[in-house]
Amino acid sequence: MNDYVIVSDATLDLPVNIIKEYDIKVIPMGVDLNGEAFSHYPDERELSVEEFYAKLKSGMIPHTTQITPVVFHDYFGELLKEGKDILYIAFSSGLSGTYNTAQLVVEELAEDYPDRKIYCIDSLCASIGEGLLVYHAAMQKQRGVTIDELRDWVEENKRRSRHWFTVKDLYFLKRGGRVTSVEAFVGTALKIRPVLSTNEEGKLVVVSKIRGTHAELDYLITKLESEGADLSNQTVIIGHGDDLNQAQELEKLILSKNLVKNVIISKIGPVIGTHTGPGMIALVFMGD
């Protein structure tokens, strides 16, 4: 059986210690702030997440760039030269062209390396939702499943990753076309926060609107209680856009109810943070 690696991209927003522990390979992604370009790595070597949000709060305008075919070709090619098979779990095709670009490169490399296995999977997930799926895939790999078995497992389970999050500054959603200018102005003034999730196509959708910090935490917990599968054995992930205190408050509420086995708190990186802004809070878990 050939050795294989799990590869994902920097949108997965998993803590770097988990990425290292499970030997997950992560392709960096580009962020531009007022004309200055950075690559986002899990270890934040070029720009820390805290610095990124500080720049947003100071008025800098961010833009993200997709992984190019050349970057995919070089990254995958190095792993193939090392004799590794590849299972790539990509950022949702409903939110980015990343998956489609990677698939074209994989088809090309498959001709150059006919004896290697290279699988590209559309996660239909984003941020820590994608991260949760990759985390579970990495645990499956540790248990000794083959690359073919793991490919099938990811395809069968990717829609079980539940994403629920709210944002505080609707300006960033407005820039991405998720809310109108009027909705952004009124919502921000009245502290109305949209609740977003992903649909079957992996696209972001506004599913509800709530008002106030406590209401948003209660909403997230309600979703966990109503949609989570086998919660007592689950590890869930809380993501935050530079608001660790609120993330810890949500963690305490979840643990006080003895809902899950474990909670991981993670920072929402610049690639996703460009579109959700400071103060975003998210909860992801596996459902039925």
Under the banding of pLDDT at 50, 70 and 90, the label for residue 184 is: very low
Q: What count of other Cβ atoms lies within 10 Å of the Cβ of residue 212?
A: 11
Please check whether residue 128 is in contact with residue 13, taking contact to mean a CB–CB distance below 8 angstroms: yes
Nearest to 122 by CA among 133, 108, 138, 110: 133
Residue 63 CA to residue 188 CA, distance in Å, equals 22
* pLDDT surpassing 90 at residue 108: yes
What's the pLDDT tens digit per position in 137-182? 999 999 999 999 999 999 999 999 999 999 887 666 666 555 555 4
DSSP-assigned letter for residue 166: E
Distant-in-sequence, close-in-space partners of 10: CB < 8 Å, separation ≥ 6: 26, 27, 28, 29, 40, 41, 42, 269, 271
* pLDDT surpassing 70 at residue 106: yes
Please check whether residue 135 is in contact with residue 252, taking contact to mean a CB–CB distance below 8 angstroms: no
CA–chain centroid gap for 18, Å, is 14
Under the banding of pLDDT at 50, 70 and 90, the label for residue 264 is: very high
Which one-letter amino acid corresponds to residue 65?
Answer: T
Residue 228: what pLDDT?
97
DSSP per-residue codes, 76-123: HHHHHHTT-EEEEEEPPTTT-SHHHHHHHHHHHHHHH-TTS-EEEEE-
Q: Is 5 helix (H, G, I), strand (E, B) or coil?
A: strand
211: Cα within 13 Å, side-chain hemisphere? 7
Domains of the chain (ranges, CATH numbers): 4-158 (3.40.50.10170), 161-286 (3.30.1180.10)
* pLDDT surpassing 90 at residue 183: no
> How much is the average pLDDT of 29-41?
94
Under the banding of pLDDT at 50, 70 and 90, the label for residue 99 is: very high
Residue 212: what pLDDT?
75
Helix (H) or strand (E) holding 74: helix 69-81
